[in-house]
Chains A and B, each alone.
Chain A
């Protein structure tokens, strides 16, 4: 076991754990945001740079700071490491700058974006974004394209996290989409548009941290926060059949994987469950999903953080009462 201190909180983790996963073990406010890392996707991470943290002490053997900030999602814990995340001015400053970089080419079309309300980029900019943009030049523009019958790609909103590329590589048998071009002209592409044929292609919608990949069967139907998420399952030959249903009254508006508090699905689901089974009778409903009270999805019941939860970041804020 390795001992590691993040923001003055000490935790023991197994060898081979990354700083981000160690922070998630502690939980709460000190967890760095991650836009590209996805624990279920091998090789993901290191790209968005929002999870940069400061290493004040590399290890017990080598008690020196690392001059540059390191990505916590891909840096392994060493024994005696001391990490500074929210207590480091530098980290917060750079995170702010990176949030700004991610937003300069983002269209900020949240009012018409289906992802709004469950968007990682919204969460990130809510916490680390500037109030107004300093970017006054032209933004890059792409026309939205359909990748198959069920998935819409809005390249304008993409932050090039590569999660969908890794999904295509790892979940889907044949990878048919990747990244074309380079720099800020890079775009996600389906080399040939035959990849929707695959049974698990819909999972790229779930892994997308922004509204670049959205579900065409849910497109413009409702806002995320008007629908109720319910745990449900069915007997499925292809996947576990355990899903989250997004209900509006008695209607099933959308089916997704069950996402945890870091917005990662617990299990990947098949396209049949996701796109075809849109009737309540198709599912055995287990009950409402637990939603963070501070989330916009929690039925418009906005509640402020208690002061105590800010002072003591280790305790989950959902359990705090006014």
Chain B
């Protein structure tokens, strides 16, 4: 267990350059796919691997590719979603910074499978320094004949462009990303029609996460069947987890899915335990949008089984006692952290990032933040907790895109599991005021 696949070569000096990457076996997946396989065979290989989207929703990639409208006479597009902006998630950044060619190789194979002649990397605007790294890697790939016209002497042509966003979290939602790429305001579209039929410039489009596309390289190299044997059950392969919070060794770790959460937090190989030997209080295992779980529920499921790092095990128990793997932004809280304050800062993020298109999210996220701000600063009232739970319940599921759900889940789960802390804030305003970190007068309205 614990074999690295994506990050296998990360420690080779100069791996970000084409020459070293090629020498250490890079671009063999492109050669294999373009020279020996048909697009349908590549799709079949990915389907067999059981690879699930690494951006957060965990949708099977092979199935997503299967939806694409191949009868359409319009061109197909592949978009790499590098708009990684979820608080707590920083795995794609690491991958692109150190292994840009792994992403490009995965994109060439995936674009070939989808018969796309043009692909885009939609990168978060804040990742300015990565744009240069990616463009340099792309120009190296062009110079060596892996991009452009007639790649490796075959009839297949592909161009990849890097397109920076302007710093909006909502543009990580695939239809908002497409709108933004078209040069419009980044508002999510109504679905259906899905991008597989009606995506970029009204053409069939597939949007995949950086890590998903990088994993395609490994799948083609080792074969879909072999990849599907890694991991646990329907959670196949390896996953990058970006661990942060009160742990001894924060960073990006590649895990084979199926290790226990306890192992991940406490083993020296991964997080190395809680900082200062304190007790574990709570974990947000998949980026800020997934429900927070208290220590006893994250280590063991409600039925007493050890919880594993898989899509299924983390979701066991529904939202009552479970959570989600999400995008793998693993945030650990020790016993001294205030969950109300944490929830407030998440709520502030979603309020700031709501696109304002549909009413529940536009109005509800702001309301959540204002209520949480009051509670955190000792101005809360007893009825506010139930009101807050009620607001998040009505945002959830009623919005166009999942941002509404993402804004509601951290709040509703914090109230579900840490209600006593909210009550403490309301019952002891004097104590809370004295330890509060912000100044109410400065609060922007």
Contacts and interface: CB of A to CB of B under 8 A. Distances in A.
A184 B358 CA distance: 10
Given A102-B363, A184-B363, A49 B358 contact: yes
Interface string B394-427: 1001111000000000000000000000000000
Given A49-B398, A135-B367, A137-B370, A184 B362 contact: yes
B366 interface: yes
Given A69-B397, A98-B398, A178-B185, A48 B358 contact: yes
A50 to B, nearest CB: 8
Contact of A183 (B353, B374, B387, B399): B353
Contacts of B354: 182-184
A119 B384 CA distance: 31
Given A48-B358, A49-B358, A184 B366 contact: yes
Contact of B185 (A98, A140, A179): A179
B440 interface: no
A68 B360 contact: no
A47 B371 contact: no
Interface in A136-164: 137-138, 140, 159-160, 162
A105 B370 CA distance: 13
Contacts of B185: 178-179
Interface in A49-79: 49-50, 52, 67-69, 71, 74
Interface residues of A, number: 35
Interface string B343-354: 000000001111
A160 B357 contact: yes
Contacts of A46: 190, 358, 400
A68 B359 contact: no
A281 B204 CA distance: 57
A105 B363 CA distance: 7
Nearest to B185: A179
A217 to B, nearest CB: 31
Contacts of A179: 185, 356
Contacts of B394: 94, 97-98, 101
A189 to B, nearest CB: 12
Given A101-B394, A178-B185, A183 B190 contact: no
Nearest to A139: B445
Question: Which of A47, A71, A74, A105 has the most chain B CB within a 10 Å cutoff?
Answer: A47
B365 interface: yes
Contacts of B370: 137-138
Contacts of A178: 185
Contacts of A105: 363, 366
B95 interface: no
A52 B359 CA distance: 12
Contact of A160 (B190, B352, B362, B445): B362
Interface in A175-195: 178-179, 181-186
A134 interface: yes
Given A74-B190, A101-B363, A183-B351, A160 B398 contact: no
8 contacts: A68-B398, A101-B363, A101-B367, A135-B367, A137-B367, A140-B445, A159-B359, A186-B355
Interface of B: 168, 170, 185, 190, 351-360, 362-367, 370-371, 374, 387, 390, 394, 397-400, 445
